[in-house]
Structure 1
């Protein structure tokens, strides 16, 4: 009997992994709509790079930038508040690894005052670095505010306690990221796909992973977690509705026993408001994935319902997700662009 149960378990896991690979293949084969060449800027605290500070490198990019700019940040802890303005698209900031390149600040208070790292520009990419707000308990303390359209983050660690990640607007993609917090630690009004991410709750009692906002059912917005992992220190819910049309799904995700049996929190919403909330899960597994005690307004999704939210098509990623550049131009090309731009003003 035990062998039969084990065989069935492994069969189901294999089925989930096969399904996950099939429905996410679009992400891996997205078109590189931009050139694979970029202008390289290096940031190094030892003084061996082009700049000592990350913000100085961003400031060097001209307004209305049309070039791919790759800012390579050497290992170190950078105590900076980073600001990528709206008129500087096509910037990548890449560290040497989440444990090697750490961008940190400590500030609590109003949401828009606190972020360690703010991205207002479109077509931004973050790679292999840590972004953290170390303020801790007692106030909102955003680590990353991603407010520009077509933002992507790969192999990043994003950490705070309350309101860690403001995925505010537009289309966003998070791949193989570690995201840590306790209260509404992934929140906003974007259409965001989270693939192979690790969500870790540090709540002392019952935490809340997500708080999504969508103003009406016609908006193609929501948070979609595919092939992710949930762990934590204590019980947590999968999320609560910031608005009556909030949309969050978890698919093919391992949920440890930290996920509370009810799954979701109503945040004081009326029954009418909860009837329009779209919270659900598809083929999740682990001790916390049992849906038998879920709130009545949560959904167990069919493949047909989940599939449109599980691939890069949900965020239009086929047209804008791109690989890391493989060819680089000197920073002198950027300085030439600055001179040309200045001469045209």
Structure 2
């Protein structure tokens, strides 16, 4: 399940109190807002109340014909190779289909913007600023957006053409019921804001288990709480790579402490995520204690063993050799744990079972 950007076709302006007589799905994109979606609502864009999420979530509304015209300006400057032209033809076929045409294009971005919100208790002000920053209501804004699009590498071509993302049936469909009037005029972007700033993209998060927010209740006016993706434990395992910093012993101890602290986080997590971060904390403690003991033994051997052993590496070098082996194992565990956790798989290496997962009953 992915957080998505949704693009709809509507014939009325949401938030005007009238029902939406026509709501049609057009495109959806996982984990980001593609430049295609931004460009299609550019030039005449404005913020309107979301038709999927309850207030104060916002969406972006743009004129259909103007959005298509702006996209054609980009298409005219794209390469003429066969694959690019095939994807352009696909987009033109969808956008030019009489069954898809309408007065406005509606871009729902709340699911994407909540991913970068830092305030879990009240993410809406940050989300509003993100949405406002995507309102590009002048030709200068459109030119800047097209310029940013032309700088993307070839592998990002689908973000400009929508290839593979055109769909009439999207994950969420606005009901089309009577829309509550907007409580205040939508905040518009300042005339010169973002004129030359390329669009920012949040990119895919570390978790493939990001929550999908249930559809709004409709009758109730209570806001829908949008939460960031639940933790999957990948961050806790990744922190173990602090040990690769070339500062022997100190970074090993630091990595263990950081993994323990991060692994005992009480932030919301999936069940697999809670187990992964608990396992990361247990391994961090195991690595920390092993490092302290072996380093202490090495120092003790240096002082205790006499000149009889000074001519050979062993036995003086036994503790440091064991510590090096444990450190290599630690780095491997950190990489494997991070990869598996990011895929929603529990990674449970052998470690001291000091901590237990905080699972909800």
TM-score w.r.t. length of structure 1: 0.22
Q: Which one has more relative contact order, counting CA pairs under 8 Å at least 6 apart? A: 2
Give the helix-richer structure, 1 or 2: 2
